[in-house]
Structure 1
C-alpha cells in the first residue's frame, strides 16, 4: 500500500480532505504548545501524516499557521468595509484587525510578525489591496484625490495598528484606533489632497 509519507495512515487521505485535516491539526497543536514550540513534525504527528506532506504545501511553519488561521476565520479581504464614508470604512477595518488580534491571541500574532519574512510577498499585499479598495471608493465619492495617495500612506493605518499589536499583549483600546485615523491618517490624506497635482 502506498503512503502519504513517513507517517502514513492505513487509509490514505487526499486533496481537500487531507489539507483540512492538517489545518485542523495545526490549530490544535498551536493551542496545545503555542507558536514558539510549534513544529512541522508536531503538526504532522497530530495530523497522522508525514512532514514532507506539509512541506509540499507550505514552505515553513509561518505559512502553515497562517493557512490554518484563514481556514478557521473569515479573511478580512473577503468582506471589505463599505459604509459610504472614508473615516468609517478605515475605522471598521482597524476594528476588524483588533478583533482578529483577539481571536488569534498575542502569542500567534507576535510569532507571525516575527517570521513575516518567511511569508510570501502576496501575504504582505493583502492589506495594501484592502486599503486600496477603500481609498478608490472614497475617490469615486469625491472624498480624496487618489493620485495624492502613495503606497506608504495607503498602508499607514494598518501598519500603525500592527505596531500597537507588536508592543502589547493587552487588547488594543478603541482610543488608539480613533487616534490613528483622526490624528494621523485623515489629516495626512487631507493635507496631500490640498496640494496641486504635480
Structure 2
C-alpha cells in the first residue's frame, strides 16, 4: 500500500462533473501530469491530483493503488497524446533525420522530467532512469524509431550483423543525451551529425565487393 495514500476520504471533494470510462481516466491522467510537472514527484499526491481533476481521492486510488503507478501512467498517457510518427521518405537517412527533428522537439520535456522532476521516484522505488523508461514504454507498441530501422533492414540499407543492440540504440541514446545536456531540441546540424557520423558508419550495409 502506498504510504502517500490518505487513510480516509472524509475530506474528499465530491465530483463536479459526471464523467465515466475513458473520458474520466483521461481527465485524471491529465490532472496527474499537471501535478507531477508542477510539483515534482516529491510533491505529487493523490489529494493534489484529485483537486485538479475535481474528483475524490478514492476514485484515483481504486485505479492506481500506488502513486508511482499513477505517475507512470500519467507520463505514458501524455506521450500517447502527442506521438512521434515514423516518417517514410524511402531511405533510412532521411527517415532518421526527420524522426530526430520531430522526436527531439516533442520529447524534450520528458528528458527534463526523467532527470529532475522524477528524482524522488528513484529514491522511493530503487529503480534507475532506464528502468523507469522501460515502464513508461510498456504497452505502447512498436516505436517510430523501431519502425524506421525495421523498414531499412527490409530494404537492405542496414546490415543486421552490424546492428547490435548497442548500435541500434545509439540514435535515441544520443538524442536523449543532447537534450539532457542542452535542455532544448536538437538542431539540424546535430541531427545530421548523429546520422552521418555515428549511426550510418556503424550500421549501414556495405556494398558487395566486385567479382
Question: Could you state the TM-score of these two structures normalised by the residue count of structure 1?
Answer: 0.73
Does residue 1:49 correspond to 2:56, yes or no?
A: yes
- The question of whether the paired residues in 2 share the 8 Å contact of 1:63 and 1:119 is answered with no
| 1:129-155 CA-partner distances (Å, limit 9, x unpaired) | 433321222233232233431222111
Q: CA deviation at 1:63?
A: 0.6
Instruction: Work out the CA distance in 2 between the residues paired with 1:18 and 1:105.
Output: 24
- The corresponding residue for 1:83 is 89
Offset at 1:183?
A: 0.5
- Count of residue pairs the alignment pairs up: 186
Deviation at 1:112, TM superposition (A): 6.7
Quote the residue 2:162 is aligned against.
148
Give 1:64's match in structure 2, choosing from 56, 73, 77. Answer: 73
Looking at secondary structure, tell me which structure has more helix per residue: 1
Structure 2, unpaired ranges of 5+:
1-7, 123-128
Pair 1:74 & 2:77 matched = no
Query: Partner residue of 1:26?
Result: 32
Q: Which of 184, 187, 191 is matched with 1:173 structurally?
A: 187
Give 5+ residue unaligned stretches, structure 1: none
Mapped contact 1:157–1:180 kept (Cα < 8 A): yes
Change (3 A) 1:68 1:135: closer
CA distance in 2, matches of 1:195, 1:179: 26
Query: Secondary structure, in 3 states, of the residue corresponding to 2:64?
Result: helix
How far off is 1:69 after superposition? 1.3
Give, in angstroms, the shift of residue 178 of structure 1: 1.2
- Paired residue secondary structure (2:96): helix
Residues 90 and 181, structure 1, Cα contact 8 Å, conserved in 2? yes
Q: Which residue of 1 aligns with 2:4?
A: none
Identify the range of structure 1 (142-151 vs 83-92) with the bigger mean alpha-carbon deviation: 142-151
Cα distance in 2 for partners of 1:84, 1:57 equals 45
Structure 2 SS opposite 1:167: helix
Distance 1:194-1:49 versus aligned 2 partners, 3 A rule: farther
CA distance in 2, matches of 1:125, 1:152: 23
**Bigger RCO (CA 8 Å, 6+ sep):** 2
1:154-169 aligned at under 5 Å gives the runs: 154-169=168-183
